[in-house]
Amino acid sequence: MSETWKPVLSRSVVFRHDRVRGADLLVLPERVVVLQGNAGSIVRLCDGVRDVDAIVAELAERHPDAPLADEVPAFLGRLRKEGWLK
């Protein structure tokens, strides 16, 4: 994965917060993905402006002790492989 990649949701994917469930969701055609843990805070930063390093840096400010440098790029790579991020 290129570190200069600026992830953004694919056109067919909508990010929403479900107040009833108290969960962040990815709404796709004919499917809803419930994001677990802090996944929503990561996806929320995927605006097509920030690159992966900037996303990791912003999250590191909020969660200084978390192992973000490896986990966030891997997570974003999985979403990209699914076709949810471009």
For residue 2, tell me if it sits in a domain.
Answer: no
Total tally of structural domains belonging to the chain: 1
- pLDDT band (50, 70, 90) for residue 2: low
Q: Please, which pLDDT band fits residue 66 given cuts at 50, 70 and 90? A: confident
User: Is 29 within 8 Å of 11 (Cβ atoms)?
Assistant: no
- Which of the four pLDDT bands, split at 50, 70 and 90, describes residue 79? very high
Examine residue 60 and state whether it is found in any structural domain, yes or no: yes
First to last CA, the chain: 12
Domain hosting residue 24, numbered range: 14-82
In a domain, 67, yes or no: yes
Mean pLDDT rounded to a whole number for the chain:
93
- Asked if 85 and 76 count as a contact pair (C-beta separation under 8 A), the reply is yes
Q: Is residue 55 part of a domain?
A: yes
Sign of CA dihedral 4, 44, 86, 33: positive
Tell me whether residue 50 is in a domain: yes
pTM for this entry: 0.88
* pLDDT tens-digit map of 22-61: 999 999 999 999 999 899 999 999 999 999 999 999 999 9
Quote the CA–CA distance of 23 and 41 in Å, as a whole number. 11
DSSP letter at 74 equals H
- Nearest Cα neighbor of 6 from 80, 81, 82 is 80
The answer as to whether 9 is a domain residue is no
- The answer to the question of residue 34 being in a domain is yes
